[in-house]
Structure 1
């Protein structure tokens, strides 16, 4: 019989391998899962399937892991390298068939009692074909395609149609020694049955994390939304307020849900994944993904996952979903702007899981009720969801202030009683080339935003070229229940109010803070790349021009600084040196390079310089405090540590609000000390007679870099921010009091003028949102006073801060600021 099985296996192995294309997750098996190739390994699979074993064998060959078909030697005896929980089910029966896993496991645990040094790694492995989540209601086609322990007949069709979409999911190894030591009173048989119970639970959770829950028919989901009490009440209110029939109001609700709802299709997602793989390989040199293990752990622990990324480009919709699928996670339902719902893109996006949201629906109670109930249905059924905290795409490369409507609905859904834990996962997305930057600059100059259309998308596809690298980092998750416990302790008692449609008093302030915290975590997971770093250095240089040696030295010094004193543990810094980064970045064709007999000169013309501020702004927050240290040391011509840290402490709350920096005031003080020590170590600062000073300039011809010049460049990173602070404070210092609206208006007018006079290319220098943020932060931190009528007034702190900042900016700018007079609104 064994010989017959071996012969049969050889017959089916080679055609099966030809039909199979396997991927695996996670990418770092040893690092993330703690699997050691030096210890014995037994694989644990859900179903005893030859084709599953063949897929596993193909994967283990690539990873250098033991072959699952070969036996392993344990205590001088040969044992199978693979255990199975179930046997395949027959075509017309769903009855579960057990294997001999109980006997095999009992023998294994018995050997552990006889040999105290024995320790086997039991590695659960989940094999998925096509990642179809299954349907809530079955049909006759499921006889052939059902993936729950399928028999050979079903498996034939699965491999035939889905062999190219196979994924092998490894899980954290279970130590057999730890199991035997966990409860020594258990018999070997009890331990074996415990292993089986744990395995069944694990495989169920693993399936949920990769494929998601069973799919409802679209009509079923519609009925669930339209039948909810909140929507019924809104329909009644609509009929009464507009004096229309109840039937007309129901038809309107039906139109809203049809406008909103996704029409997700697993086949469409698989085809899109294949197509996008080809696209990414064509236009990107690679997609760098970090910290995906955090999300996998949440998914395997049964968390409802809500992805909240920053929004740089329309590419974000595709890139994040692609990465999630590639990392072996359930693809989310995606909130997309209604502007993307045009033929044929809208229909394709719906198939990929997109649901559409209007930019504003304030006052439309029926639409609000339908949309909120749809979102709650997704949460309640366990689907992952993705939406953007900023609302729209950033036109400057900075994070936008949060739009909290979707967050509020998420919190309200939790209040109504979602049984599983909800975790919000912030996501940083960055690019070395954003295809919309040109249109962003036109919009910032006042051009009307171009409406999305098929022809616009087709034009973009035609112009696809080398876009460098893409970067996607998952930030620290926010466990929503825990967050509310800390920030709104009474939230559990207020659930009854939420069920009655009442809004708790704590909801708005808590959600506003939650939005800020998400953006701070996005920025804490930033990725430095060649384009962002080179742009930062060149934009700081006079005339945006640097010799190649100066550029390389400055880039390398800033890389070294981030390695020694990292902005955060989640931020990523390239391991390659500046030379390799610059060589790769040059291929994107953004810089003008001129060769002379002394070497290469890198420069930017004005148009390109304005565009590159977008990439610099992606990482501006990471260099804000180092730059402020440099500005203080240069501006004050040396100072002691106490004076420096005191001024950083005064300015940090303003920078934190504007740049969404995640550190608390105390952490920022510690970080400042770490930066000072690191800057001293790498030669960016020197210490003389207890004062921090600039390093001496280097004139050695053999030395290609000058740390003093790099310190000057670093000081320039924060200059435009300080200049903006100075001109706003000058406006308020020239009056007894002023309304916030007038202060914003006058500051914007002065900023526009100063940008022309001083050749400031950054569009955000006079951006209204950025000015508003500084004014609000100054008021909230007591730097600007506010009287009982809501008028803003100068005080001693504002006067002191203006004097301090004027010592840090260039003399020419400082002189012009002092000449500025209050501009009357009329």
Structure 2
């Protein structure tokens, strides 16, 4: 995105029943027109029932745009659509070939078992061949029946135009009760998307919408936008966990296709999914899927999942299609409906099973005022063009173009695609007022903040967002103070508390855990600054003379690299090299008078330093601290994850150092350890105990070889874990863990940039106590340990094994 200070951004538009209204683009624009939204006509049933009934009648009759019979794209929603789609899928050559291959393999198994006669019997060979051919045809017919049944269960069933008109009206009624300020889109982006869709329709090419995923409202909002703009609705790839009675069939007829969460080794099902994707892409049907896989429970983008993306690439690599259009989409909310349940899941409660009861209970929040939804579209681009560009780049690195099709290079291509999509989503993401307010509240040193100061810091943060080429939600005719008031109203007293009877309204973070969800919606814009400031903080936290708080540039670069590797599963980084990003980030912080560079000569050697800017010192470090506050919770979570690994250290009298422990039990114990450390004052942030952050920290430990995780293909066999012997911490003669060794060194290096404050205690006695607590919490893990790597041994068997080895 270009510099927003050089030219004004395109305005928002609110799509009404029969017209499109343009909104001003600035958060403080001086406009007199009232704010309107996409869904406003449907929010007045109680106030104006006659008008609402008239609108319903227009939908049922299919008047004007509501008829949805002149869409841009391929023809959908007509009788017989499902039957035609099933027939096209079943005719795919790769599916027919797979069925034939599986049938032949089964026949060979039965021949080996002797049920179809032995090979090489001259007199009976012809009879055996006939039996085998008949058996193969029988198996093929059975597999075709299974495939056809699965196809019917899987495919989107766009059979009724009347149904989709009614579904649009119902979905609009529901959504308007939750998001009373409506769904907002950008005029330039929508107009460009329409022109791209028209060109794609002529070429019979599909548009693949790839949105971020924070809520079930994501796909509803995109479907409503496509319907109102006259674009062909995409087929939405959805997990079959949502296919429960009543709601499942409704969604399937409105645009959802069902797919298993895991395919396992089911070759027929995997081929069937590829055949369906090929069918959709060959015929130019639009598709929507979520590159993150599941919904983000933390507010920031998750790392990409490559399952469905691999099917799109395969369609081009196999020659099934010539091209498809990729359209990354960002959907942002003032408030996400599911955040309450996300917090419960992150704190260790099991995820509830999707069913009608839970769906209807969630609808209780539909009467609340949750603000607005902002949907932004990145400029669409050609998947073929992307692949050709990557092929050219990878060809320069390989001896032969044929190696482009090697598995390793395919994985590189797929990985690059996934991260490009996530970067595109971040590039067009809009920062909502609730995210601005939540971020300010969570980056304060004080207990609370006055309203005037809150408005000032929101203004500062808004300018920082724009300076990073970010986008801020557009509000018509409202000063920042009014926008802050709207945000506080949407967040509500359960998230943001206020202190009564003071000279000025004063606010504080009531629920820091929930507010962190909204802060995380902004962190991608400031991750580079946060890492640099955290590296400088390793010296600043020591206090003392100003010269002692400087960081040599080489040391700073090394620590920033360490942190960036530590959080590689947490954040989407800039695509430039670290040295380039570091240099430009420091230059920006110098321009903002947060940091400064200095040089000092020592003989013939000239050393470059980075330190706090004098103005930042005089201002009380508020901007420097802001960047540190952004990253500190993640540093805490990483430190906790590393401390948790000490729990995998076998007790002193436990001679089997290669015992396998239950992986899930270890993760649960890590979370319990974190809660204990927080309440005892050794952990500054309660959000550091959330499952996602701990999972990322533990995954990094696995990648680094600190722990070894053994997973079975059998879903009934749980994963197991053990500590790698090279990282085994020492114990003293009393059996207590000693703060020494590689694992402790890693903890200490992470701890260099941890927040120092009154809520945390440091010192040798605390180190001893934290390790003692890790030993105590993790001790029970070894009660159920297994000795053999396959997990079939028992505790008694393990002891017998130890005794036998001792005798040997």
TM range, smaller chain? 0.5 to 0.7
Equivalent residue, structure 2, for 1:595: 500
C-alpha contact 1:21 1:166 (8 A) present in aligned 2: no
1:727 offset after TM fit, Å?
4.8
Equivalent residue, structure 2, for 1:272: 167
C-alpha contact 1:287 1:471 (8 A) present in aligned 2: yes
C-alpha contact 1:415 1:494 (8 A) present in aligned 2: no
Asked whether 1:298 is paired with 2:162, we answer no
| C-alpha separation in 1, matches of 2:403 and 2:162 | 42
Asked whether 1:720 is paired with 2:645, we answer no
1:658 offset after TM fit, Å?
1.8
1:422 offset after TM fit, Å?
1.6
Q: Cα gap change, 1:384/1:550 in structure 2, threshold over 3 Å: closer, same or farther?
A: same
TM superposition score normalised by structure 2 = 0.66
1:766 offset after TM fit, Å?
5.2
| C-alpha separation in 2, matches of 1:732 and 1:311 | 31
Equivalent residue, structure 2, for 1:217: 81
Q: Cα gap change, 1:237/1:556 in structure 2, threshold over 3 Å: closer, same or farther?
A: same
1:266 offset after TM fit, Å?
3.5
Equivalent residue, structure 2, for 1:461: 363
| C-alpha separation in 2, matches of 1:516 and 1:640 | 32
Question: More displaced, 506-515 or 726-735?
Answer: 726-735
Deviations 1:290-318 (A, max 9, x none): 44455345324425311111211111120
Candidates 688, 692, 697, aligned match of 1:771: 697
Deviations 1:698-753 (A, max 9, x none): 99xxxxxx663454344222112223344556688999999999998697675454
C-alpha contact 2:333 2:371 (8 A) present in aligned 1: yes
| C-alpha separation in 1, matches of 2:195 and 2:488 | 38
Equivalent residue, structure 1, for 2:151: 257
Question: More displaced, 381-390 or 805-814?
Answer: 805-814
Asked whether 1:535 is paired with 2:438, we answer yes
SS in 2 for 1:388: coil
C-alpha contact 2:466 2:472 (8 A) present in aligned 1: no
| C-alpha separation in 2, matches of 1:507 and 1:802 | 39
| C-alpha separation in 2, matches of 1:425 and 1:288 | 18
C-alpha contact 1:592 1:604 (8 A) present in aligned 2: yes
Asked whether 1:288 is paired with 2:189, we answer no
| C-alpha separation in 2, matches of 1:222 and 1:336 | 18
| C-alpha separation in 1, matches of 2:349 and 2:169 | 37
Q: Cα gap change, 1:428/1:763 in structure 2, threshold over 3 Å: closer, same or farther?
A: farther
C-alpha contact 1:562 1:573 (8 A) present in aligned 2: no
Equivalent residue, structure 1, for 2:223: 321
Matches within 5 A, 1:790-805: 802-803=748-749
SS in 1 for 2:592: helix
Q: Output the aligned Cα RMSD.
A: 4.6
C-alpha contact 2:303 2:569 (8 A) present in aligned 1: no
| C-alpha separation in 1, matches of 2:351 and 2:649 | 40
Q: Cα gap change, 1:506/1:807 in structure 2, threshold over 3 Å: closer, same or farther?
A: closer
Q: Cα gap change, 1:779/1:469 in structure 2, threshold over 3 Å: closer, same or farther?
A: farther
Asked whether 1:648 is paired with 2:575, we answer no
Matches within 5 A, 1:97-496: 161-165=61-65, 209-210=72-73, 217-236=81-100, 241=106, 245-264=139-158, 265-284=160-179, 285-290=181-186, 291-293=189-191, 295-302=193-200, 303-464=205-366, 465-475=368-378, 477=380, 479-488=382-391
SS in 1 for 2:442: helix
| C-alpha separation in 2, matches of 1:476 and 1:815 | 53
Equivalent residue, structure 2, for 1:176: none
C-alpha contact 1:547 1:600 (8 A) present in aligned 2: yes
Greater RCO, CA 8 A, separation 6+: 2
Matches within 5 A, 1:733-812: 751-756=674-679, 757=681, 758-762=683-687, 765=690, 767=692, 768-775=694-701, 802-803=748-749, 806-807=752-753, 809-810=755-756, 812=760
| C-alpha separation in 1, matches of 2:306 and 2:162 | 33
| C-alpha separation in 1, matches of 2:763 and 2:659 | 25
| C-alpha separation in 2, matches of 1:814 and 1:297 | 61
Candidates 550, 564, 568, aligned match of 1:639: 550
Aligned residues: 617
Equivalent residue, structure 2, for 1:108: none
C-alpha contact 2:438 2:516 (8 A) present in aligned 1: yes
SS in 1 for 2:97: helix
C-alpha contact 1:431 1:471 (8 A) present in aligned 2: yes
| C-alpha separation in 2, matches of 1:365 and 1:796 | 44
Q: Cα gap change, 1:457/1:724 in structure 2, threshold over 3 Å: closer, same or farther?
A: closer
C-alpha contact 1:431 1:469 (8 A) present in aligned 2: yes
SS in 2 for 1:356: strand
1:473 offset after TM fit, Å?
2.1
TM superposition score normalised by structure 1 = 0.64
Deviations 1:599-654 (A, max 9, x none): 1121233xx32222222222222232333344444542343683656643553354
SS in 1 for 2:505: strand
Equivalent residue, structure 2, for 1:141: none
SS in 2 for 1:658: coil
